[in-house]
């Protein structure tokens, strides 16, 4: 179970709790919902990610003596709230879209059934995880489509926070990347890791040849040699001379990649190394990957763009109260009416409508109870936490692999034009039958 500081949250969550306890409304049964009002501009679909690690974090969310003492000293809440927090653990139920699922505007990605008090203090935790991880996964999925079957590795740890790097590696792997350079992601989530050497390794040695020989002696001729520290043509020739025909790959990290890759491929073939692969790692995003589709690139390494959501570092998700029991004990739907921030109240039952060929045509969101009768599509909500206990299928390394497989299945339901990189509207409409 993952340790988490309960103070990684916003103050207003606890002040709402404090006021609700005083008013006697904190124990009212409620339904909270996480959703995105819209997709990032021009995107046609999104990918849900972060669910598995969120379930672990919720199960570990506690207020220990150190947090409680600080809250008391800072005067954030009063004694009644401190007493309540001291015994806190989430005991409610959470349903939601499976990790790896495709989502659209207003998809009820996560539904929390709990008392107001138990659910409201999870807002920041839920949104910080889902917003970042889903942003990375959505961008990574576009890159996977642009690569058209060629492998991608995530290597952006140096371009984000140290723990964000682990989350990004996990999200990219779920979206179809094949490996990560981040060792903690490998240890924590079972993701394959990769990596050989940077330019500093070449510069350390007395010559490029000495560096190549040291790497081959340590890692074998099947390693990947970085050939653009000085002169690419000379670097390729030297790499083949040192490693021979068994050389695994050469890496290019700079230059005009389309023309450079073509030249390197021709050089490798002429030198008797037709099986040596070419991998490129120069500030790639989905657009540069697509531009290289006609070039003889064998694999890609992506850094900054994937860990920053390719221009959209947050998915724009929000967490809102949509229903609760009132003072008379009756369930009532609630919604915001604010301009451009209006919400839809009530418990949701989303269904992915499919045509006769199994291709998605609409996101049908029913409101109320027993309203999906007659629907022939795929119901999207699954149980994630029951009475505070996470479903084992969705956590740990097993959960990551299940999410990765589900993403592939969900993507296969989308029409072909969902994968165009040009700006467009969501590929299917969200409707309220």
What CATH number did the domain enclosing 242 receive? 3.20.20.70
User: What pLDDT score does 372 carry?
Assistant: 64
CA 146 to chain centre: 18
The span from the CA of 54 to the CA of 408, in Å, is 21
Q: Considering the domain boundaries, does residue 4 fall inside one?
A: no
- Do 177 and 195 lie in a common domain? yes
pLDDT in tens, 15-24: 999 999 999 9
The number of CA neighbours under 13 Å toward the Cβ of 175 is: 35
In a domain? residue 97: yes
Residue 129 lies in a domain: yes
> Which residues is 246 bridged to in the sheet?
none
What stretch of H or E contains 361?
Answer: strand 360-367
- Phi, psi torsion values for 234, nearest 5 degrees: -70, -35
What CATH number is given to the structural domain containing 421? 3.20.140.10
Q: What angle do CA 36, 93, 67 make, to 5 degrees?
A: 85
H or E stretch at 112: strand 110-115
Distance, in Å, from the CA atom of 243 to the CA atom of 225, rounded to the nearest integer, reads 9
Q: Are residues 209 and 268 in the same domain?
A: yes
Shared domain check, 112 and 65:
yes
Please give the Cα distance from 15 to 26 (Å, whole number): 12
Considering the domain architecture, whether residues 113 and 35 belong to the same structural domain is answered as: yes
Q: Are residues 98 and 168 in the same domain?
A: no
Please identify, among 305, 336, 362, the residue that sits at the C-terminal boundary of a domain. Answer: 305
| Domain assignment of residue 195, yes or no | yes
Does residue 287 sit within a domain?
yes
Q: Are residues 122 and 24 in the same domain?
A: yes
Question: Domain boundary at 305, 320, 344, which?
Answer: 305
Domain count along the chain: 2
Contact predicate 195/169, CB 8 Å: no
379 and 421 share a domain? yes
Local structure of 264: helix, strand or coil: helix
- Each of the 433 residues of the chain gets a pLDDT tens digit; together they read 455 679 989 999 999 999 999 999 999 999 999 999 999 999 999 999 999 999 999 999 999 999 999 999 999 999 999 999 999 999 999 999 999 999 999 999 999 999 999 999 999 999 999 999 999 999 999 999 999 999 999 999 999 999 999 999 999 999 999 999 999 999 999 999 999 999 999 999 999 999 999 999 999 999 999 999 999 999 999 999 999 999 999 999 998 999 999 999 999 999 999 999 999 998 999 999 999 999 999 999 999 999 999 999 999 999 999 999 999 999 999 998 888 788 999 999 999 999 999 999 999 999 987 666 677 889 999 999 999 999 999 999 999 999 999 999 999 999 999 999 999 999 999 999 8
Q: Do residue 216 and residue 103 come from a single domain?
A: no
Residue 277 CA to residue 221 CA, distance in Å, equals 13
- Rounded Cα gap, residues 94 and 64, in angstroms: 24
pLDDT at 102: 98
Q: What pLDDT does residue 92 have?
A: 97
234 is a domain residue: yes
* pLDDT of amino acid 375: 76
Residues 296 and 165 in one domain: yes
* Angle subtended at Cα 156 by Cα 153 and Cα 162, rounded to the nearest 5 degrees: 130
* Structural domain range at position 181: 158-305
Q: Are 247 and 239 in contact (CB under 8 A)?
A: yes
Choosing from 273, 305, 337, the residue where a domain stops is 305
Here the tokens at position 400 are: 């990551």
Nearest CA to 302 out of 292, 289, 312, 320 is that of 289
Q: What is the pLDDT of residue 1?
A: 43
CA distance between the termini of the chain: 41
Residue 5 structure tokens: 């500081």
> Is the same domain home to 168 and 289?
yes
> 296 in a domain, yes or no?
yes
Q: Residue 179: name the closest of 194, 168, 162, 165 by CA.
A: 194
Is-contact 320 32, C-beta < 8 A? yes
pLDDT of the residue at 371? 66
Q: Determine, yes or no, domain membership for 419.
A: yes
Instruction: Tell me: do 47 and 113 sit in the same domain.
Output: yes
- Phi and psi, residue 36, nearest 5°: -110, 125
Residues 287 and 330 placed together within one structural domain of the fold: no
Element (H, E) at 154: strand 152-154
């Amino acid at each position: 179970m993952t340790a988490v500081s309960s103070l990684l949250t916003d103050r207003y969550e606890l002040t709402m709790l404090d006021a609700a306890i005083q008013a006697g409304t904190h124990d009212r049964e409620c339904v909270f919902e996480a959703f995105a009002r819209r997709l990032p501009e021009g995107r046609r679909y999104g990918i849900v990610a972060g669910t598995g690690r969120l379930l672990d974090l919720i199960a570990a969310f506690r207020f220990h003596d150190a947090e409680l003492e600080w809250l008391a000293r800072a005067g954030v809440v009063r004694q009644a709230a401190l007493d309540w927090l001291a015994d806190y653990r989430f005991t409610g139920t959470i349903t939601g879209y499976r990790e790896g699922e495709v989502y659209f505007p207003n998809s009820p990605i996560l539904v929390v059934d709990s008392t107001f008090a138990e659910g409201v203090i999870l807002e920041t935790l839920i949104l910080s995880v889902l917003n970042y991880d889903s942003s990375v996964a959505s961008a990574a999925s576009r890159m996977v489509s642009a690569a058209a079957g060629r492998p991608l590795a995530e290597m952006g740890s140096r371009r984000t926070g140290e723990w964000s790097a682990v989350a990004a590696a996990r999200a990219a792997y779920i979206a179809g990347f094949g490996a990560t350079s981040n060792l903690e992601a490998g240890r924590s989530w079972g993701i394959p890791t990769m990596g050989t050497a940077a330019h500093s390794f070449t510069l350390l040695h007395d010559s490029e040849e000495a560096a190549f020989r040291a790497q081959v002696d340590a890692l074998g001729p099947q390693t990947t040699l970085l050939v653009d520290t000085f002169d690419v043509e000379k670097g390729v020739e030297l790499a083949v001379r040192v490693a021979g025909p068994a050389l695994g790959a050469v890496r290019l990290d700079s230059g005009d990649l389309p023309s450079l890759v073509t030249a390197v491929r021709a050089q490798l073939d002429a030198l008797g190394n037709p099986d040596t692969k070419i991998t490129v790692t120069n500030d790639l995003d989905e657009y540069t990957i697509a531009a290289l589709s006609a070039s003889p690139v064998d694999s890609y390494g992506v850094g900054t763009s994937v860990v920053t959501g390719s221009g959209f570092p947050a998915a724009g998700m929000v967490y809102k109260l949509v229903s609760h029991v009132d003072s008379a004990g009756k369930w009532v739907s609630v919604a915001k009416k604010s301009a451009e921030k209006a919400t839809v109240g009530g418990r949701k039952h989303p269904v992915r409508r499919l045509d006769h060929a199994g291709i998605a045509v609409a996101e049908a969101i029913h409101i109320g109870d027993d309203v999906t009768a007659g629907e022939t599509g795929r119901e999207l909500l699954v149980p994630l936490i029951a009475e505070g206990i996470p479903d084992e299928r969705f956590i740990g390394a097993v959960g990551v692999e299940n999410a990765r497989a589900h993403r592939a299945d969900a993507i296969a339901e989308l029409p072909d034009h969902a994968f165009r990189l040009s700006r467009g509207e969501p590929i299917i409409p969200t409707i309220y039958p």
